[in-house]
Each structure stands twice: as structure tokens, then as C-alpha cells.
Amino acid sequence: MSFLLGNEAIFIPLFGITTFIFSYFASDRILEFFHKRSLGSREEVLELMDRMFIESDRQRVTYTMLAASFGPATIVFLLVWPHFILGCILATFLCFVGWMAPKIIMLNLWDRRCSRLINQMVDGMTIMANGIKAGQSLQQSMERVVENINGPLSQEFSLVLNKVRLGMSIEDALNEFGERIPRQDVQMFVTAVNILKETGGNLAETFQTIVTTVRERQKVEKKIEALTAQGNMQAIIMTLVPLVLLGVFLVLDPPYVMPLFTKPLGWVCLALMLTLQVIGLYVMRKIVTIKV
């Protein structure tokens, strides 16, 4: 085995033939994977921007993602020249990370927006309950929320009210609201309102119950975040330590670690290391992630 990995004349053709055979039999899955990671990522970014009421231009988003992907990759490739193999490895890695970075950032912003909306539901449901007790309709109580609260809840309620004014039923508008914000508390609100609209019931009391449920859920989530904070930090540190040590050796003693980037056996070791690091981070994050 070591003879094959150490002999470039045998290893490179063998690796190319193996890659060709694998690509031939898995071409459909490979094309679907690259489409999802390329144009699919752009479409997801555009969809998330639309959900957050951010004006988006398809061409501008495309140029931004291309610049974030190929810009750093090109700079790093030129910096490590004439080490062609090392430059290709680092450039490919940065190209992939740069292309996925906008999607990851938008998902993080979307998750924060959803969390902020859930936090605002406590005040929003309280206002709606008081409005129902004062004799207002469901739409009028939602208008009070829009007038008194700024942020994502006001934006979503405004969208619901605008759809109702254009002729959509309140049930369908609320169902779309539940599809836009896939959170349990929102689903509970939408389901409760739709059921009570059909069967009758005390909306004000239902809203107070939702407020109590959301508050108790937030207490549990905060307690879980405090208990799992140490595990999350350990996962991040354990993932970064090998990469930091590799960077330190590259600065202090480059000849000691350069075989990792110039020899076929070193490429295999780097690929194995990165794969194990990703798997380890994923498993550790799954262990400390507790859904309420």
C-alpha cells in the first residue's frame, strides 16, 4: 500500500481511473449535488432574502457570491505560487467555503429573525388578547399589534392583513404565515385561530394560553443553552486545534509539514484529517443540540 502511495507514476493514473469510474456510475447524483451547491445555493439565498423582506437583485447576488468564492481563492493561489498542488488544494477549499458562506450567513440571519419573532409573540398575543376582550375582531387586534410593535412580527402581520384586504381568507393567510415561519409556537397560534374560527371559542383565553406556553418554552430553551454552552465551545476548540497546530508548523518549520501538501500520501492524510474533523464536529454538535 505504501509503495502505491509513494510512487506517483502509479498512484496518479490509478487515482484518475478510480475517479472516472466512480463519476461515471454516480454522475446523476454528482450533477444534482453540484447543482444544489451552486445554483441551488443562490436560489436559497434569494428565497431567504425575500422572506426577510430584503430587496434582492438576482444578478447582484450572483456577482456577490462569485466574488466571495473566487476572490479569496485566487488571492491565496497567487500567494502560495509556485507550489501548484498546495495552491489548488487551498484555492478549491476557499472557493467552496466562499460560495457557501452567503447561504450560511443568510440562514443564521433567518434563524435570528424567527427567534426574535417568537420573542415578540409574547407581547403580540397579549395585545391581541386585550383587543379581543375589548370587542375587537381578529383583524383589528392584529392591526393593533402592527401599530404598537416594530420588527418581524409587525412585518408578518402586515403581510397577512394585506392578503386579507386583497381577498384572501384569514385562514389561508394565516396558513401561509405558518409556512413562512416554521416554528412550533407559530404553528400553535395558526392552528388555534383556525380551529376557533370554525368551532367557536374564547380567543382571548387561547391567546393567554399561548403566551404562557411560549414563556415556559423560552425558559427551558435558555436553561438548555446554558447547560450545553460548554459542550459547544469544546466542539469548536477541538475542531480548530489541529488546524491551528498545522498553521504554527507552517510558520515555524515549513519543511516538516510540506510533505502533506507535496506528496500523494500527504494529500490522503489531509483529506482524511479534514473528513474526520467535519464528522467529529457534526457528531459533537448533534450531541449537545436538544430540541424543545
* Distances in whole angstroms, Cα of residue 291 to Cα of each of 161, 218, 231, 269, 279: 32, 12, 15, 36, 21
CATH 1.20.81 fits 118-213, yes or no: yes
Beta-carbon neighbour count of residue 239 at 10 Å? Answer: 16
What average pLDDT score do residues 35-60 get? 73
Separation between Cα atoms, residue 80 and residue 91, nearest integer Å? 10
Q: Is residue 123 over pLDDT 80?
A: yes
Q: Is residue 32 over pLDDT 60?
A: no
pLDDT grade for 16, boundaries at 50, 70 and 90: low
pLDDT higher for 50 or 1? Answer: 50
CA angle 280, 90, 7 (to 5 degrees): 90
Instruction: Dig out the grid coordinates for 78 from the structure.
Output: 497567487
pLDDT higher for 111 or 35? Answer: 111
CA angle 159, 163, 168 (to 5 degrees): 150
Separation between Cα atoms, residue 243 and residue 221, nearest integer Å? 32
What average pLDDT score do residues 262-285 get? 80
Note the pLDDT of residue 228: 76
pLDDT grade for 6, boundaries at 50, 70 and 90: low
Q: Is residue 87 over pLDDT 80?
A: no
**DSSP tally for the chain: helices H, then strands E:** 14, 0
pLDDT grade for 236, boundaries at 50, 70 and 90: confident
Note the pLDDT of residue 29: 62
pLDDT higher for 33 or 165? Answer: 165
Note the pLDDT of residue 7: 55
Q: Is residue 161 over pLDDT 60?
A: yes
Query: CA nearest 178: which of 192, 167, 164, 196?
Result: 192
pLDDT higher for 10 or 178? Answer: 178
Q: Which of 33-37, 96-100, 180-184 has the highest mean predicted lDDT (pLDDT)?
A: 180-184
Measured in Å, how far apart are the chain's first and last C-alpha atoms? 49
Domain assignments of the chain as residue spans, ordered by start = 118-213
Query: CA nearest 249: which of 233, 261, 237, 238?
Result: 261
Instruction: Dig out the grid coordinates for 30 from the structure.
Output: 454528482
pLDDT grade for 134, boundaries at 50, 70 and 90: confident
Query: Helices 152-165 and 170-180 meet at what angle, rounded to 10?
Result: 150
Q: Are 229 and 275 in contact (CB under 8 A)?
A: no
Beta-carbon neighbour count of residue 226 at 10 Å? Answer: 9
Note the pLDDT of residue 252: 81
pLDDT grade for 202, boundaries at 50, 70 and 90: confident
Q: Are 97 and 73 in contact (CB under 8 A)?
A: no
Note the pLDDT of residue 187: 86
What average pLDDT score do residues 44-65 get? 79
Helix (H, G, I), strand (E, B) or coil at 149: coil
Q: Are 260 and 270 in contact (CB under 8 A)?
A: yes
Note the pLDDT of residue 290: 67
What average pLDDT score do residues 58-82 get? 78
Note the pLDDT of residue 291: 66
